[in-house]
Amino acid sequence: MFEDAPEIIRSFLSYKLNIQNRSPLTVSEYYLDLRTFFRFLFLNRGDTDETELESVDISSLDISYVESVTTADIYDYLLWLAEKGVKAVSRSRKLSAIRAFFKYHTAKSHLIKTDPSEHIDSPSVKRKLPKFLSLEEANALLDSVDMSDDNGERDYCILTLFLNCGMRLSELVGINLSDLSHDLTQLTVTGKGSKQRNIYLNQACKDAVRAYLNVRGRNATKHGDTIKDKNALFLSSRNSRISNKTVQWTVNKYLEKSGLSGKGYSVHKLRHTAATLMYDHGGVDVRLLKEILGHEQLNTTQIYTHVSDRQIEQAMEKNPLANKRK
């Protein structure tokens, strides 16, 4: 993997992949970001005869070159990205890759002595309030499922788990029958970095899972077909594990049926919805919500626990002068 990467980059990627257990996709993004950074340096310093960034060969990158990188080099790179119209959130991600790379080689491999990225602030990113369905819209989405349809129980179960558990798309697709407890009270999901966590299923989830399990085998075999992935909870029309795209298509279908299309809702917005409903209507503590959602950092959870208009209204009514009359 990453055979074309210089050894000093490859050792960092190996650490992320095998020691820190980052996903292959995340590690690939690290590589692409680092490759772009060092290609920029080769061009900016005149260390290559190439004129196009994509053509720059960085195979000669070694310890001495990495040691020569300065804070000013990184600022030049960030400025170049900004001038090319790269958004602040993307520039911040690319800076994170550079930071992680230099932190590894100063604190872990000890190949270099100083970290030129240590005191560079991330580009300021404006946080947008996450889109989420209201309680009424969530109910409308669930009510739009036709249970007489061949996939009615499956689709209703998918929507119920999204809206109640706040799981990620990859987590739902990856659910195995063996991940469910015998009494259907608990579900083990595998999140980012292959980290597992237990989710406790409420009554709505247990009922939806049970109803789907009652027809799962029958629906799969009624045309004489056999189940290809016997341990997968959710099956496609081809009797194999359901794909990300199929789940996305299914959710979009019911968003349209319930009159909610065109509002920017998506599979991930159902995760936002679950978090918001638990926090806003259920009074779930933000630290507990962090564990439910499988976040590593509390500040990540904060974006789901934005203050709602209803909470603002209630806070205003609690002012001791709220009922003052003259």
Q: What digits encode the pLDDT tens for the residues 214-270?
A: 999 887 777 567 888 899 999 998 889 999 999 999 999 999 999 998 888 888 888
Termini Cα distance of the chain: 76
Where on the phi/psi map is residue 301: left (φ > 0), alpha (ψ -120 to 50), or beta? alpha
Instruction: Walk me through the domains of the chain, giving residue ranges and CATH numbers.
Output: 7-107 (no CATH), 135-310 (1.10.443.10)
pLDDT in the model for residue 41:
96
Higher-confidence residue of 18 and 321: namely 18
Q: Is 271 a catalytic residue?
A: yes
Question: Is residue 325 annotated as part of the catalytic site, yes or no?
Answer: no
Tell me the percentage of the chain whose pLDDT exceeds 90.
53
pLDDT of amino acid 70 = 96
Assess whether 268 carries a catalytic annotation: yes
What is the reported pLDDT for 229?
Answer: 85
> Minimum mean pLDDT among 94-108, 256-270, 310-324: which range?
310-324
Letter for the amino acid at 149?
D
Check if 216 is active-site: no
**Residue 272 catalytic?**
no
Q: Is 223 a catalytic residue?
A: no
Digit-coded pLDDT (tens) for 288-307: 666 666 655 555 555 555 55
Burial 154-174 (b: 16+ CB within 10 A, else e): bbbbbbbbbbbbbbbbebbbb
Give the C-alpha distances (Å, rounded to integers) separating 39 from 7, 34, 119, 224.
16, 8, 23, 56
What pLDDT score does 107 carry?
94
Q: Which of the following is catalytic: 94, 168, 241, 290?
A: 168
Mean pLDDT of 110-130: 84
Sign of the torsion angle spanned by Cα atoms 32, 33, 36, 38: negative
Report the pLDDT value the prediction gives residue 304, as an integer from 0 to 100: 56
Mean pLDDT over all residues of the chain? 85
Name the DSSP letter for residue 20: S
The catalytic position among 91, 271, 272, 290 is 271
Please name the amino acid found at residue 190: T
Q: What is the mean pLDDT of residues 15-21?
A: 90
pLDDT given for residue 150 in this prediction: 87
Mean pLDDT of 147-157: 93
Cα-Cα-Cα-Cα torsion 265, 155, 195, 14, nearest 10 degrees, comes to -70
53-79 pLDDT, tens digit each: 999 999 999 999 999 999 999 999 999
pTM, full prediction? 0.62
Residue 6 has which token pair?
């210089």
pLDDT band per the 50, 70, 90 thresholds, residue 126: low
pLDDT band at 320 (very low <50, low <70, confident <90, very high): low
Out of 10, 93, 103, 192, pick the active-site residue. Answer: 192
Q: What is the pLDDT of residue 219?
A: 79
**Amino acid letter, residue 204:** A
- Each residue of 164-208: pLDDT tens digit? 887 889 999 999 999 999 999 988 888 877 778 888 888 999 999
